Structure 1
Amino acid sequence: MKSASIVTAATLLVLGLGVSPATAAPDGPPQPGPHAVVGHLAHPMDGHVAEDETEDLTDAAQQYSDIRNAPGLTAANPQAYYSGQQQGQKLPVLPGSWQEVTNQPYQSDAPDYRDPNWSNSTAGSGHVSGRVSALAVDGSRTVYVGAADGGVWRSDDRGAHWQPLWDNMPSLAIGAVAVDPADHSVYVGTGEADFSGDSLGGDAIYRSADRGRSWQRIGQSFFGLRTARIVLDGVGHIYAATSFGVLRHDLRDWSAPWTTVLAPATGAETSFATDVRIRPGSNGSVVAATVVNHGVNPGAVNGFYLSTTGGGPGTFSQQTAGGDLANADIGRSTFTWNANGSALYAVVQNAANTGLLTGVFRADSGRPAGPWTKIADTPSLVKAGAQGCGGCQGWYDQYVAADPADPNHVYLGLEDVYETSDRGASWQVIGPYWNFGLPCWSSDLSKLTCPPTTHADQHAVAFGSDGVAYFGNDGGVYSRAAALRGVVKWNNLNEGLHTLQYYSVGAGRVAGGDAIWGGLQDNGVSLLLPGAKEQVSPFGGDGGQVIVDPRNGMRAVNEYVHLSTARTQNGGRSDFTTPSYTTMSPSCDNPVPGTVADPCDPGSLFIAPYSADIANIDHWVAGGRYVWDNQGKGWGTTCGPTACDWKNVHDTGAQMTAVVAKGDTIYAAWQYRDAAHVYHSGIDTNFGGSWHRLATPSLPARYITSISLDPLRAGHLYISFGGYTDQWVPGAGKGHVFESGDGGASWTDDTGALPDLPTTSLVQWNGLLAAATDAGVYVRLAGQWFKLGTGLPNASGQQLVVAPEGTALLLATHGRGLWSYGVRR
């Protein structure tokens, strides 16, 4: 999920904590010891850079997976999602339409929002959108974008304006896009292949003959598909590098099934093809691919494969790489031949697909067997000026791409964007991870001379026929003339690309309407004020949950990962000299030097839960391993090494997934896996006066995503569950929504006809119970479930809240921004 990179998190120095082994709690769950915080995040003035993010990325991936797959250790049957989606389409629809809230540009460098601890403003990314995993260019003006759970978009003016083409398709997760220059047809492979924790699988590969106005599925469905590349060989075939191996289809009879031409292992994702390429000038006869066993025993099939007889079934042979790649550790890899096909380039991650870059290589033979010469690795890239970690996330963000007009000119995308004009003899950073730490950066805006850069974490690149190159990353799309060499000069193309990946949303009243806040994957926390032409980002990094005062939308609590919280009373406005945020986190992972509480919480989730009392906006509760209570201190809450208003009121011995309060009563949902990797979840509460663990034999053992308390009736609450039922996951139990009228002593299954989908959020609204899922929002009225409204893109819902005036709902999606239903005043 990241997962995603947290290197862009805050301009802070993260303090690493030692690792201690887990021990068993008296009531069963393990007691997690403090875990290391890796990734050294720099304050902009001290010049340090990020080194390693593997642990946080793993935490994010595990949380996103557990929400959707627990109690299973691996992904649920991918057909489960599409079955649930179809169930939802059969329900009656309540009238009304969803309206897009975040249809303004999102400015990550707003000059009035530069908190010295928590803002990423002046990092240089400018307008940002969500993760772009695929790009294709048709001629000189038309650009296609494939986004992470954001669908496909088209621009007919080189990225100045964008149009969504995919909102109602079965899967908005896009892995690859290609254009046939012969007839301008467009090909889209669904399912991201970035190996990130928050990436979703797809269902098929599609074709459009009318520039995206309509789409036709090619061949059969592939539920759970991940598509890394689509290429055309120019002689009548299309190839797709996928999680099912390398697939091929003739450019005719689109209903015919795909042919699997390369899949050296059997089983789910055991022949994950991370790239496929056609050698220029070979008339389609020479096809190269790289395959990774994403399961067990990766070394058996990992490596490069070659067909010299047209890429048909049985024509590929595994290559024994020579030279500097002899006996090397080959994991996720991407290829490119240079413009005339004389040399082949590869960027190679380690076989375990962890935080180690094997290197960047060139084969002057033009063959995957080599011999290969190493032309870059992490130390040399750091020496060349890397602001990021020089390849520690190559399993997530990587590409190598040759300029079609110059055989010596090659781009490399890792965390930064690199360029060589001499075949890898030297490298320049042309897209710095950020501008912090560079000599051109200054906290004094009058002395800030850094040019705008790209967002960090690179995923895609494509070339137009006019010599313009387009680049996709965690912040959207940027372009530059390929003729530019060795300089940082970028065109930002994100103004109209609405693909933001939210985890959360909250709102409060201000003059003229609502101030709307939301936490995002790798793009901090956004703030949209009434009538504003832009959203701003007062808070950087990965943005988690938010608390917003409904009476005063300038007052908010924002979260960086692992329960690192800070509060603001002025909407995050700062000129970099006076902090707008007060750090007041009970987490051991709090990254602000000198503010870590003692004692602190060692066991919070990547996106950790906290919320305001439903009857008192100044009373907050938060959950890691422990339940924390701010004792009603509200926006006066402080916390540090010598004194902390957060009081530890209960030890769950696990990790909390949801926590809510009404007065003195608190409910805390938790999860853990035991020594045998068996998943457990449950609820602790002090309802009735003392803390106890609820006996929940009738509840499923899945991730509890939300708890909704009745504001009028004590002990009346609803809970929602992620994942899928035991129809798809053994041991998962039944149901997604449950109700209790006696404080959790007994439960009633209210799921009814609600689709069997991960249910991520519940709210009570005007007598209705509303539920957000991975495919739509549903409401329960008089015991029956309805689909709520029309016009909502098919992106996964993350959080549902009631707007302050009570007449509208706000929904955070993880790929298509924020949406509202009802009337917002």
Structure 2
Amino acid sequence: MIPVLAPLLLISVIGRPQTPSAEVASQGNASDWVSSSSLSWRELGPSTFGGRIVDIALHPQDSSHLLIASASGGLWRTRNSGTTWECIFENEGTISIGDIAWDVHDEDVIWVGTGEANNQRSSYWGDGIYKTTDGGKSWQHMGLEHSQHIGRIVIHPTQSEVVYVAALGRLYGANEERGLYKTRDGGATWSRVLDTGPTVGVVDVVIDPFDANMIYAASYERLRRPWNFDGNGPGSAIHKSSDGGLTWKRLTGGLPEGDIGRIGLAAFADQEGLIFATVSNQNKIEVAPKQDPTVSLETRFAKGVLRVVRAPKDGGAAELGLKAKDELLSLGGNVLDQRWSWVVGLSVLEPDEEADLVLRRNDEEVTLVVTRRGLDKTIDAEPVMRDVGGGVYCSEDHGETWTKRSSEPVGGNPAYYYGQIRVDPHDQTRLYLAGVPLYWSEDGGHSWKRNRASGVHVDHHALEVDPHDSRRLWLGNDGGLHLSHDRGETWYHFDNLPLAQFYALGLDDQQPYRVYGGTQDNGTWGGPSISRDSRGIGSEEWSSVGGGDGFYAQIEPGNPDIVYGESQFGWIYRRDRGAWKSQGIQPKAPDGEKYRFNWNSPILLSRHNPQILWFGGNRLFRSLDRGDHWSLITDDLTSQDPKKIEGNVPHCTITTIAESPFSPDLLMVGTDDGLVQLTQDGGHSWTNLTGRLSGLPQGWWITRVVLSEHEKERVYVTASGYREDDLRPLVWRSEDLGQTWKRLDEGLPQAPINVLREDPVREETLYVGTELGVQASLDGGASWAVLGDDLPTIAVHDLAVQAQARELVLATHGRGFWVLDIAALGDWNSEIASAPAHLFAPKDVVRWQRRSLAKTSGHSAWYGKNSERGVILQVHLLADLEEGAAKLEIQDSKGKRIARLTVPNTRGLHRIHWVGVRSRRGSGLAVGDYSAVLTHGDTVQRRSFRVLPDPLER
């Protein structure tokens, strides 16, 4: 049996109010109710860090006017060099973007190719090409719906109706709609001018600056599976057409062939025939083995300190003077304050470049001079095979012959994630290569430096050189958008773009509650659900609790300073925010055994005892002391498929864990290879339920298992076929602990399900997060509707209900956190729906003390939205009424009327704000007890509520 502690008292949390208005929504049935415009989402952010930027387009005449394309957060425009931004592409069929193109002859014409081209685990598919002719006010779908991922769009330099599109095709399967497409009529019709076959797409295309009939296209062969990624093949090549795409030839003169990966192209406009290419050559060569710095020096990051665990005597690290127990403080002036800082710091050094390594040894600071080559010491062993690596090639005769410019491997690693090369429009010797890190050359690619953006981020995907001033560089990476005015010597980061790509979230029980979540390559962050700052939630109110790629976050009930987080492949830690200490707590495998962990491994704190932590690998782990010690309570709970385990992506792992609120011994898990298992005795014995789930395809990724809040034997399962090239939604419910199942996915859109939650108040209300948004059901899954009407078309990876605040919180992958007041949904029933008029019980509110938390920032700051100011009163009318037929007033604790409020007379759900009583001292809410009274005909409804003081006043 699992030890259980007494339940902790949770403090009620109330959102802060805003502008007075009445919002109306039609109400004819449950679907209308769920999609009501009165159910309005508020965006929390953060904008402190960004999200992956995949393309940048500068206005041809005005470089202060630019567009940026987010991998999964839409298209954004600024007219003032980034001081302010507006999203102009967020409600279309998908807002994952691969590439954009701006018509140089008409700034109102913009093309968007949907579906990211970077082949990542979280690269979302698209539904073809969109075009606007009014600067983004409206969009028209222009076809190529099944292309899924777009690598490049280029517009003919003199004939704007002629456009080329590089279509990569599906990432997880073969399909016909891929290759290079051309339209001659502005997108009304398309023809495939370069057919690369069902497994090879086109990733890049360039029009020759001197002859618009001369086209260069880069084909790319790649296939991702849940357990493996093949990012190369003989289908990857450069092709050329001299007649506008009618005929093609494959270019071979001097270019490598065989196992070739991603290729990027760039043309120089001031020299005819000059073309550059970055080529990922994954053919194998035999080399003398070297010790990677991460091997010759084993480190551990714990309690905020990066400490040397082992420096082998025959390794380069030991020869340079490093010893076990050394605490590494900084490298080259950069503080080593994260688990990966050491590796990142080394990666930006040239092989023989010296850097000061400052460390603490026996309470004294010591400085060593290190080089990357010194740490990469050649060891005495048999030769090993490795990839040739990335190379930069140049042609000066329109691609007929090529020479390799780079002597050492350069470019992104893994190459599938990068592949962009840029040339200064005024100097063909100055080249830039996006990757890890940002490479740059000043001699045409013969030699390369790699420290041009070392203090910015490590994963770079987009770069544009200002044609009017080539010192100005716009850089897009996993950390958002950056600008340099001095060719990369220094950089400015834009912290006003809310593009965070969250994988998961956790909520604490403070007042106001805080929201935590792990992000793609920006670590794990937490911030408040509302702010005392009247402007909203500022970027300075968010704080980092962990690095790497962040995923699950769990907060200890009753002790919100204790946060559990995770980075990729199961590296979990416990952070004490009060003491500002972090401790790595990943279970260690015994000698002779190797654990497997998913990219996004699940962590779960027990609701019965906050000292107990569950963690999933290929087996289920349990800790009774906050992760200090672990016990294995299961054998391998996956299929252990040898083929999948041998792939180059860790697989056959647990992806979701559930614990019953009724019993700590009732647990469920789901796996990435399609298994669902349940135990009723704390993990001693397990029942495999997979075969009982009718309609579950073999091997599909189980995204969530849920044990009901309301009925002990009620369970839910969701599965995703995205990684099996199938976008169907799948949801099941069982009322007998998995013995029998019922499908609940009829009526859901064609989008995989990532998460399902029950409403904690009303058991028939369900919420699901899909790859295209949020759906809700008021009838236990019999029917579904879009929840609210103002959420972008965004992938929702996680959602949770903050029960005391009656709010639903979303973790989106591309637009940060969003929050919705769901009090009315929790109270809804058929009697309310059929009543002529109904007043919902208002939530108690806190009279927050207003104060400014940030320095003056002009117009550039972005703020997350606070909840509305005042008390929120929700009234539902069954039908249109005569004006004044429904009356609403506020009474004080003695029953005295202190305010009359107007109730709109149209049918539907109305959201009415009361911001307090106006007096000589101004208007505002006084602390105390109140009642809202709705009168309609002979019916009088009275609802009580309280205005509470700010906790700082108590």
1:154-177: CA deviation from partner (whole Å, max 9, x where unpaired): 111112221111110111110111
Higher relative CO (Cα under 8 Å, sequence separation at least 6) belongs to 1
1:415-463: CA deviation from partner (whole Å, max 9, x where unpaired): 111222221233233434x4xxxxxxxxxxxxxxxxxx32121211223
* Partner of residue 171, structure 1: 94
* Partner of residue 289, structure 1: 217
Distance across 1 between alignment mates of 2:655 and 2:722: 17
Give the 5 Å matches for 1:529-678.
529=528, 530-531=530-531, 533-534=538-539, 535-570=542-577, 574=580, 580-586=581-587, 588=589, 602-631=595-624, 633=625, 637-639=626-628, 644-654=629-639, 655-662=653-660, 663-671=663-671
Distance across 2 between alignment mates of 1:227 and 1:566: 38
- TM-score w.r.t. the length of structure 1 is 0.72
1:240 equivalenced with 2:165 (yes/no):
yes
1:667 maps to a residue whose letter is: L
In structure 2, the residue corresponding to 1:407 is in which secondary structure?
strand
* Partner of residue 60, structure 1: none
In structure 1, the residue corresponding to 2:692 is in which secondary structure?
coil
Question: Aligned-pair distance for 1:740?
Answer: 2.3
* Partner of residue 682, structure 1: 676
Question: Aligned-pair distance for 1:207?
Answer: 1.9
1:360 maps to a residue whose letter is: G
Distance across 2 between alignment mates of 1:606 and 1:460: 25
* Partner of residue 257, structure 1: 189
- Check conservation: 2:545, 2:565, Cα contact below 8 A: no
Shift in CA distance, 134/97, structure 1 to aligned 2, threshold 3 Å? farther
Distance across 2 between alignment mates of 1:601 and 1:638: 19
Count residues with an aligned counterpart.
640
* Partner of residue 713, structure 1: 711
- Check conservation: 1:402, 1:409, Cα contact below 8 A: yes
Shift in CA distance, 239/587, structure 1 to aligned 2, threshold 3 Å? farther
- Check conservation: 1:556, 1:568, Cα contact below 8 A: yes
Give the 5 Å matches for 1:783-798.
783=780, 784-798=783-797
- Check conservation: 2:222, 2:233, Cα contact below 8 A: no
Shift in CA distance, 683/346, structure 1 to aligned 2, threshold 3 Å? same
Structure 1 stretch 683-692 or stretch 144-153: which is displaced more? Answer: 683-692
Shift in CA distance, 750/104, structure 1 to aligned 2, threshold 3 Å? closer
1:336 equivalenced with 2:255 (yes/no):
no
* Partner of residue 409, structure 1: 430
Distance across 1 between alignment mates of 2:723 and 2:392: 46
- Check conservation: 2:618, 2:637, Cα contact below 8 A: yes
* Partner of residue 461, structure 2: 459
Distance across 2 between alignment mates of 1:603 and 1:547: 21
- TM-score w.r.t. the length of structure 2 is 0.63
1:80-130: CA deviation from partner (whole Å, max 9, x where unpaired): xxxxxxxx9999625543434433432xxxxxxxxxxxxxxxxxxxxx211
Give the 5 Å matches for 1:40-439.
93-94=35-36, 96-106=38-48, 128-138=49-59, 139-184=62-107, 185-218=109-142, 220-236=143-159, 237-243=162-168, 244-250=178-184, 253-254=185-186, 256-263=188-195, 265-267=196-198, 269-270=199-200, 272-282=201-211, 284-294=212-222, 300-309=234-243, 311-313=244-246, 315-322=247-254, 325=255, 327=257, 329-342=259-272, 343-350=274-281, 356=387, 358-378=389-409, 391-432=412-453, 434=454
Shift in CA distance, 719/796, structure 1 to aligned 2, threshold 3 Å? same
Distance across 2 between alignment mates of 1:810 and 1:205: 31
Question: Aligned-pair distance for 1:321?
Answer: 2.3
1:780 equivalenced with 2:787 (yes/no):
no
In structure 2, the residue corresponding to 1:697 is in which secondary structure?
helix
Shift in CA distance, 170/747, structure 1 to aligned 2, threshold 3 Å? same
Structure 1 stretch 805-814 or stretch 599-608: which is displaced more? Answer: 599-608
Distance across 2 between alignment mates of 1:554 and 1:297: 43
Distance across 1 between alignment mates of 2:723 and 2:497: 35
Distance across 1 between alignment mates of 2:582 and 2:394: 52
1:681 maps to a residue whose letter is: L
Question: Which sections of structure 2, spanning at least 5 residues, go unmatched?
Answer: 1-29, 169-177, 224-229, 285-384, 532-536, 640-652, 823-842, 846-954
Question: Aligned-pair distance for 1:717?
Answer: 2.0
Question: Aligned-pair distance for 1:690?
Answer: 5.0
2:403 maps to a residue whose letter is: W
In structure 2, the residue corresponding to 1:395 is in which secondary structure?
helix
- Check conservation: 1:175, 1:192, Cα contact below 8 A: yes
- Check conservation: 1:522, 1:542, Cα contact below 8 A: yes
1:285 maps to a residue whose letter is: N
Distance across 2 between alignment mates of 1:457 and 1:724: 25
- Check conservation: 1:355, 1:395, Cα contact below 8 A: no
Question: Aligned-pair distance for 1:193?
Answer: 1.1
1:738 equivalenced with 2:732 (yes/no):
yes
Provide the identity percentage. Answer: 25
Distance across 2 between alignment mates of 1:519 and 1:391: 24
Distance across 1 between alignment mates of 2:617 and 2:215: 50
In structure 2, the residue corresponding to 1:736 is in which secondary structure?
strand
Distance across 1 between alignment mates of 2:235 and 2:407: 25
- Check conservation: 1:685, 1:694, Cα contact below 8 A: no
Distance across 1 between alignment mates of 2:219 and 2:745: 42
Give the 5 Å matches for 1:480-491.
480-481=484-485, 484-485=486-487, 488-491=489-492
Shift in CA distance, 410/696, structure 1 to aligned 2, threshold 3 Å? closer
Question: Aligned-pair distance for 1:376?
Answer: 4.6
Distance across 1 between alignment mates of 2:134 and 2:268: 31
Distance across 1 between alignment mates of 2:44 and 2:386: 34
1:150 maps to a residue whose letter is: G
- Check conservation: 1:650, 1:691, Cα contact below 8 A: no
Shift in CA distance, 297/147, structure 1 to aligned 2, threshold 3 Å? closer
Question: Aligned-pair distance for 1:191?
Answer: 1.0
In structure 2, the residue corresponding to 1:669 is in which secondary structure?
strand
Structure 1 stretch 186-195 or stretch 458-467: which is displaced more? Answer: 458-467
- Check conservation: 1:96, 1:822, Cα contact below 8 A: no
Question: Aligned-pair distance for 1:687?
Answer: 5.1
In structure 2, the residue corresponding to 1:102 is in which secondary structure?
strand
* Partner of residue 691, structure 1: 685
1:723 maps to a residue whose letter is: G
Distance across 2 between alignment mates of 1:461 and 1:89: 45
- Check conservation: 2:51, 2:499, Cα contact below 8 A: yes
- Check conservation: 2:638, 2:654, Cα contact below 8 A: no
1:330 maps to a residue whose letter is: I
In structure 1, the residue corresponding to 2:498 is in which secondary structure?
coil
In structure 2, the residue corresponding to 1:755 is in which secondary structure?
coil
Question: Aligned-pair distance for 1:555?
Answer: 2.1
Give the 5 Å matches for 1:746-765.
746-765=740-759
Distance across 2 between alignment mates of 1:735 and 1:336: 41
Question: Aligned-pair distance for 1:476?
Answer: 1.2
- Check conservation: 2:73, 2:794, Cα contact below 8 A: yes
Shift in CA distance, 671/465, structure 1 to aligned 2, threshold 3 Å? same
1:622 maps to a residue whose letter is: F
- Check conservation: 1:516, 1:553, Cα contact below 8 A: no
Question: Which sections of structure 1, spanning at least 5 residues, go unmatched?
Answer: 1-87, 107-127, 382-389, 435-452, 575-579, 589-596, 674-679
1:567-608: CA deviation from partner (whole Å, max 9, x where unpaired): 12326x63xxxxx112222255xxxxxxxx779870221101
- Check conservation: 2:279, 2:393, Cα contact below 8 A: no
